[in-house]
Amino acid sequence: MFSSKRSFFKTAFIAIVTITISSCNENEKPENRKPENKYVLTKNTEQTEAYFFVATAGVTKTIISKAQLAQRKSLQNSIKIVSSKIENNQKLLLQEINKIAVQKLIIISEINTSVTNKDLYELANKKDVDFDDAYLNSITQSLTEMIGLFESIAKETNDMVILKLVAHYLPKQYEFLRETEKIKKQIN
């Protein structure tokens, strides 16, 4: 009786180990891995659009916060002016995103706030002399991320409402990016 229990447990153990190993091998196959590029979206249109709205809202909120900080802390009048324009445009964009998301029943909540807050805290803690350069680098990075999101969704969706949103706001993002880079060159 003792040897039959032993052989049963031995067989069960070998079966469990075999299943576990084969399961691990399936998870490591390239087709089961998630894409490394954060702009590569899934083929499911609803997921793609939901990701776009959530990510765009997050980046927009970050840009608004950075622009408001620059208006208070910057020493350069040109930075204050462009930051005001950026803030107003991003507020309108955020309103549009929220309106469309509600129509599509997509809930946008605070995502990656710790990353966003860390970036803002680092920017806020810059000394007045270093702030302008740090702000321009930071806002350039955020605008580039926004442009990437817009270009990515434009390739992935056929939704006319989203494409109109992209067609309206993408040129403005490029314009702000050029303005910030121009100011950056003038300062340096």
Do residues 55 and 149 lie in contact, with contact meaning Cβ atoms separated by under 8 Å? Answer: yes
Per-residue pLDDT, averaged over 143-150, amounts to 94
Q: Specify the pTM.
A: 0.72
The domain locations on the chain are 1-33, 37-187
153-176 burial: b if 16+ Cβ within 10 Å, else e = beebbebeebeebbeebbebbeeb
Q: What is the pLDDT of residues 72-118, one digit of tens each?
A: 999 899 999 999 999 999 999 999 998 988 887 777 776 555 555 77
Pick the CATH number of 37-187 from 1.20.1080.10, 1.10.645.10, 3.30.160.110, 1.20.1260.10: 1.20.1260.10
Residue 43, pLDDT score: 59
